[in-house]
Amino acid sequence: MTPVPADGTVPKLPYAKIALRVLIDGDAEILYAGDAPSLVEGLVQINFRLPELARDGLTPLQIQIGNYWDTSFPQIWIR
Domain ranges of the chain: 20-78
Of residues 65 and 11, which shows the higher confidence score? 65
Looking at residue 73, the DSSP 8-state letter turns out to be -
C-alpha 73/C-alpha 35 separation (Å) is 23
Phi, psi of 14 (to 5 degrees): -75, 145
The pTM score is: 0.73
Say which residues have a Cβ less than 8 Å from residue 55's Cβ, sequence separation at least 6: 25, 78
pLDDT tens digits, one per residue of 31-52: 988 877 778 777 788 999 999 9
